[in-house]
Amino acid sequence: MSTEENTTHFGYEQVAASEKAGRVRGVFDSVASNYDLMNDLMSVGMHRLWKRFTLSRTGLRPGDEALDVAGGTADLTAGMSRQVGNTGSVCLTDINASMLDQGRRRLINDGIVGNVRLAQANAECLPFADNVFHCVTIGFGLRNVTDKQTALDSMYRVIKPGGRLLVLEFSKPALEFIEPLYDFHLFKVLPLLGRYVAKDEASYQYLAESIRMHPDQETLLGMLTKSGFEDSHYHNLTGGVVALHVGYKY
């Protein structure tokens, strides 16, 4: 096996593939307690609109089963819980125990407990049977996965025929004039917010770099197709700063 096959990127740094999950876990252990506040500051509140748009594309109905992968503080989980109602269920997963704890607190505070279960799980090897869920979401989590294609394969496996995958993630701005402003925000503003608000500049430097290293819209579209998804397409949000990819399993 070549050296390249044994390494991956952690932001701009090349690391052993076996080390990435642990290093990502360290980042999110550090940022978990400030994650929601930092999301609001980083996106000027726009992340709420991006997630609302994602929820409008789930196709979920009362009684359905949904899965939120790398769901962190449970924004999408909470929305899908309301969509599937008391007769349905949503499973919130995250590889990071600290983030999962934040999600649990958020759900309890919102009074959402009856139809949600939690599981600490790696997106690359989801611990569920085949063909279980009507909808699987992953919001701002795919870029932190070590092997993204394997994770997409895993998500495809657990979706019911007729179900869908929604991938919400930072992407490549579609308008040229946005890109320098976006880079300034990522590499100047974001680390400063990390330093003064979260008291952790290094973790937010990594998050900025991870956004830049994530596949662009067309590349990710091809990855969905490779995993078996059909009729895949994407919606550029805020000029392509974020994209929602949708793929169906038939």
Per-residue pLDDT tens digits for 181-225: 988 988 888 888 888 877 888 888 888 889 889 999 999 999 999
CA 191 to CA 183: how far, in whole Å?
12
Predicted confidence at residue 4, as pLDDT, reads: 46
Domains along the chain with CATH numbers: 28-175+204-248 (3.40.50.150)
**Within its chain, how far is the Cα of 151 from the centroid?**
11
Residue spans of the chain under pLDDT 70: 1-5
Per-residue pLDDT tens digits for 125-144: 999 999 999 999 999 999 99
